[in-house]
Structure 1
Amino acid sequence: MKLFGRERPTTAKKKSVIREWLNAGLFAIVAATIIRMFIFEAYCIPSGSMERTLLINDYLFVSKITYGPRLPMTPLAIPLVHNKMPFTTSMPSYSTAWELPYKRLPGFSSVSRNDIVVFNLPPGDTVALEVEQSTSYYELVRQLGREQVWNQFHILVRPVDKRENIIKRCVGIPGDTISIANSVVSVNHQPGFNAPTAEMQYLVQTSGEALNPVRLKEMGIIDEPMPTGQPGQYVCNLSTTDVQAMKNWPAIQNITPYTDQSIADPALFPNDTAQFHWNLDNFGPVVVPAKGTTVQLTSANMPLYRRIIRIYEHNDLKEENGQFIINGQPATSYTFKMNYYWVMGDNRHNSIDSRYWGFLPEDHLVGKAWITWMSYDPEGIRWSRLLRAIR
């Protein structure tokens, strides 16, 4: 239609363009959500617990299809966001008004020993928002008491699939017996796998000189050496390659493995030093629970299984007059409903892992670390790490 010899502008074409953009945007969000949910998900390494297999600010793709994608357990959630709204510190990006039971689609394989896996942090079911992730809510309660923690901090309870994502190496699969003696991990009474890039603690003795921080940085050593108080003596987190290289330094007199021979650490699983005299370098043995297996319940082993029975497998557990009551019935044994795993960081003395919080339930598994697609440090992109398969 013309108005004074000119065509009257119409909004139909503009609406169609806007509609096309909206449709394209909606399609992109739906497609990205499906890919993230069922195929792979991006993940960034936040800490040095897997040094030097994985480095801080390595960006990974995590395969969901290897072990089978886990169906959403908290479906009412903002797409492409994990557990909090962007630009906020604590606002949940999900609602627990509708929750679904755990279910996983078939995958190509089951979890194998030495796989590097991403999972939801088991003790992350309850968090104190003002405290760093490395200090769990449960450790705070043991130190300060529950009442003081709830009065002092903002406490948030999260469902399984909205707990923080963590990455570690699977050391033990269901049914395995895990033990650590003088920092050496054994699986089923045989020496376990130790990645060439894994870091252990060593006692480094120099001729009296301080360790050169520039040379340490050039080698990729990020954990600061700890002086022991003796002249020229340090405890360092090093790989076997680091040890061989440093032995050639003129100032180095000796490098020997350093293990913790101290008393039991109350921060370690199962937080019962009266019965379990364990520390980071001397731990176990523990048997990793397998689905369908039955254990006899005693006061000696209940600390190992209490959280599994009550929290992970949702039973009412009471102890009355030396007897265990599960769901209102006396119980002398328990049959596990899920498989469990034992996971540890490759940076063995700088990792909060199964030694601190115990067994990893299968419903917490997110996927298998697949490939590093980007990596950078303050000096720029680490080109040598791009598109590197993760092992």
Structure 2
Amino acid sequence: MDQPTPQKNLKGTWNQAILTFLFPIFLVLGVRWALYEPFVIPSGSMIPNLLVHDHILVKKFAFGLHFPFSDKWMFQWSKPERGEIVVFKYPENPDVYYIKRLIGLPGDEVVVQDGHITVNGMKWDLSPLAYTNAESGFAYYNESIDGNPHVVRFMTPEVVEGIAPKVYKVPNGHFFFMGDNRDQSSDSRYWGFVKNDYIVGKAWLIWLSCDATLPSMTFVCDPSQLRWNRFFQKLK
């Protein structure tokens, strides 16, 4: 007589299939939570260092780790430093992410006058710059803090003199941010300070950039409009 065909144990097969399906999802979520998260620049507030449709990677682990799905820090091993480009949650709507340059730390006194920044009595260097591919109607400057320069942009006339200084005292546990496109940036000068829990990470790298997106999919770069010279530029 024929021997009965043994039944396959499908339980192990299903477990393996589920694990195979879920593992890549958990891996991607884990990388986005703890290591790197991609963002797309939606506005010109950080011109000339970041352009609209620049795709960047943000180091989520640069300052610590938040609890998943929470603003609270699980571990925070360092704090952002002045001059760094940082991604954070917009204080007036934490569901929205902003990217700006860090100007003032907790306890700092920030004075903004005639385009110049002074922090705790120390004036940041600001020197005119002949900037490559500069748009007409704007003036570009090298701004430097602690010997680390970056480029900022003003609308002409370059720096309007005679404007009364504006003083900002940064509360404990908060930060003061400004965009590099100084006259066309919504930042801490207008909506206030950013609390420490809203810090997301340090902007690190431009990995993709384009002048325009596809009309049918506005979140996808048009392959014919790529800005190849911006690929893999580290941010500073």
TM-score range, shorter chain: 0.7 to 0.9
Tell me how far 1:196 sits from its aligned partner. 8.4
Q: Secondary structure at the match of 1:122?
A: coil
**Counterpart pick for 1:238 among 139, 149, 154:** 139
1:375 to 200, 209, 213: 209
Alignment deviations for residues 134-157 of structure 1 (CA, whole Å, 9 cap, x no partner)? xxxxxxxxxxxxxxxxxxxxxxxx
Aligned equivalents of 2:205 and 2:125: distance in 1?
21
Q: Deviations over 1:188-209 (max 9, x none)?
A: 1222266988x9xxxxxxxxxx
Aligned residues, how many? 206
- Give how far 1:103 is off: 2.5
> What is the SS of the residue equivalent to 2:102?
strand
Deviation at residue 59 of structure 1 after TM alignment: 0.9
**Which residue of the other structure, out of 28, 32, 50, is the alignment partner of 1:54?**
50
Superposed displacement of residue 12, structure 1: 7.9
Whether 1:340 and 2:174 are equivalent positions in the alignment is yes
Deviation at 1:25, TM superposition (A): 2.5
Do the aligned partners of residues 102 and 351 (structure 1) sit closer, same or farther apart at CA in structure 2, a change above 3 Å counting? same
Where does structure 1 lack aligned partners over 5 or more consecutive residues?
A: 3-7, 75-100, 125-159, 200-217, 226-235, 242-254, 262-280, 291-338
Equivalent runs, 1:261-280 vs 2, <5 Å? none
Bigger CA radius of gyration: 1
Percent identical among aligned pairs is: 30
* TM-score, L = length of structure 2: 0.75
Paired residues for 1:41-190 under 5 Å: 41-74=37-70, 102-107=72-77, 109-124=78-93, 160=94, 163-190=95-122
**Displacement after TM superposition at 1:184 (Å):** 1.2
Which amino acid is the alignment partner of residue 181 of structure 1? Answer: Q
What letter corresponds to residue 43 of structure 1 in structure 2? F
Aligned-pair distance for 1:64? 1.3
Deviation (angstroms), 1:34: 1.2
Q: Are the aligned partners of 1:177 and 1:188 in contact in 2 as well (CA < 8 Å)?
A: yes
Residue 31 of structure 1 pairs with residue 1 of structure 2: no
Cα separation, partners in 2 of 1:25 and 1:239, compared to 1, 3 Å: farther
Q: Structure 1 pair 239/33, CA: closer, same or farther in 2 (3 Å)?
A: same
> Going by fraction, where is strand more abundant, 1 or 2?
2
- Superposed CA RMSD in Å reads 3.1
User: Which residue of 2 is the match for residue 259 of structure 1?
Assistant: 160
